[in-house]
Structure 1
C-alpha cells in the first residue's frame, strides 16, 4: 500500500509524489480500475500545504495515520494564495537573493582576476612592469576577500602579492609577509591549533623561491666584489 500525494498549484498544474508504476497490460488496467481508492480532498493556502507536504515526505506519523487508520490512499491538495501577504518575508528574501547574487559575481570576478594575475605573474620573472601589474591584481583580490570576509582567501592573496614583491626585488617585505601567513595557516607559532595544509604548502613553496632569490643576490654580490 502506498500513499499518493497530488498537488494542484495556482496554474492548475499537477505534481505527484509517491506515484505508483503505471500498468503494463490490460489485466493490470482492469485490476487498477476495479480497486477502490479512498481519496481525501483538501484545499489550503500554499504556506500550510508546504508544511503538510514536508511532513508527509519526511515523517511517517502523518503518513501512517492517513494510510492505516483513515484508509486514505490518495491525498489531493489544492493550493490557494495565502490570505495574509506578510506570511512570506519578501524583504528578507530580497536581501538574501541580493547577497547570493553578489557572492556569485564576486566569485566570477575572482576567477577572472586569478587567470589574469597568473599570466602577469609568469611574465613577472622577465618584465618588471608585469610583476607590478600582478601585484596590483593581487591587491584587488585582497579587497574582494576583505569584502567577503574570507580570511583564508585573504591569506592566499597576500601570498600572491609576496610573489610580486620577490620578482621586484623587495625580499625583506616578502619575507615578513610569508612568515605572518605561515603563522596564520598553522605554523609552529600558531596559537589557535588550526591548520590549513594547502596554505602551509603555498608558504613553504614561496619561501623556497625567496631563499633562491637570496642566494642569487648573494652570488651576484660576491661576483661584483671579485671584479673589483
Structure 2
C-alpha cells in the first residue's frame, strides 16, 4: 500500500500523487435483495504550509522511503493532505540568477561576434571569385563562425556556417569536398527540421546551383583544351 499525497494549490485545485485505481466501493452486506454499499474511508493528515516549505516536504515524502514508512505504517496515515499558502516573503535564488545572467551576456556577445564575422566573411567571399586569397580568408572566417555555432549549441547556425565554407571550397576549385558538404546539410535540412528553417533548404539549393555551374565551366574548359 502506498501513501497517497494530495496537494491543494492557491486556486484550490487538487493534485494527487500515488493515487491507486478508483476501486473504493465495497459491498458490505446484502438483505432482501438490497445491497448496502459504503465508501472506504482513509486516515488523513492535513498540513497547511508555506508553498516554498511545502515543496520541500512534498519532495521528501515522495523520495524518502523512511519518511514514507513512518507516516504510513507507524502513524497509520493513508492520505497526506498538503494545503499550500502563498509565502510571506519570496525567496530569490541569487546564485541561479548570476549564472543565468552570465549565460545570457555570453550568448549576446557570441551573437554580436557572429554578426561581425558574417559581414566580414561576406566581403571576402564577394572578392573570392577574383582573388584566391580572399576565398581562403572567407573559408577561415566560416570556420571561426562554426566554432561559435558549436559553443551556441544551435544546429541551424552550424549548418549555415558549413554552407558558407562550401562556397569558399567552390571558389578554390575543391568541388568534390563542397559537393559532399552541401549534400550533408541538405539531408539535415530536409529531415525532421524542415518545417523549422526553410531558409536552410533554399541556401542548399542555391549553392548547389553554383556548384553545378562550376562543374559545367570546368567541363567546358577541358573540352576546349582537348580541341586545341
Q: Taking structure 2 as the reference length, what is the TM-score of the superposition?
A: 0.59
Residue 194 (structure 1) shift: 3.4
Q: How does 1:184-195 map to 2 (within 5 A)?
A: 184-186=188-190, 190=191, 192=192, 194-195=194-195
Residue 193 (structure 1) shift: 6.6
Q: Deviations over 1:62-107 (max 9, x none)?
A: xxxxxxxxxxxxxxxxxxxxx99x9321111110000000011001
- The 2-side partners of 1:117 and 1:174 are apart by 17
Residue 118 of structure 1 corresponds to 122
- The 1-side partners of 2:194 and 2:202 are apart by 15
Contact 2:139–2:164 (CA under 8 A) maintained in structure 1: yes
SS of the aligned residue for 1:87 comes to coil
Matched, 1:105 2:117: no
Q: Give the helix-richer structure, 1 or 2.
A: 1
Q: Runs ≥4 in structure 1, deviation > 4 angstroms?
A: none
Matched, 1:162 2:166: yes
RMSD: 1.6
Q: Taking structure 1 as the reference length, what is the TM-score of the superposition?
A: 0.59
Residue 217 of structure 2 corresponds to 216
- The 1-side partners of 2:193 and 2:172 are apart by 34
Q: Which runs of 5+ in 1 are unaligned?
A: 1-82
Q: Which runs of 5+ in 2 are unaligned?
A: 1-87
Q: Give the strand-richer structure, 1 or 2.
A: 2
SS of the aligned residue for 2:194 comes to coil
Q: Deviations over 1:124-175 (max 9, x none)?
A: 0000000000000000000000011000000000000000000000000000
Q: How does 1:59-98 map to 2 (within 5 A)?
A: 87-98=91-102
Residue 198 of structure 2 corresponds to 197
Aligned residues: 140
- The 1-side partners of 2:133 and 2:98 are apart by 44
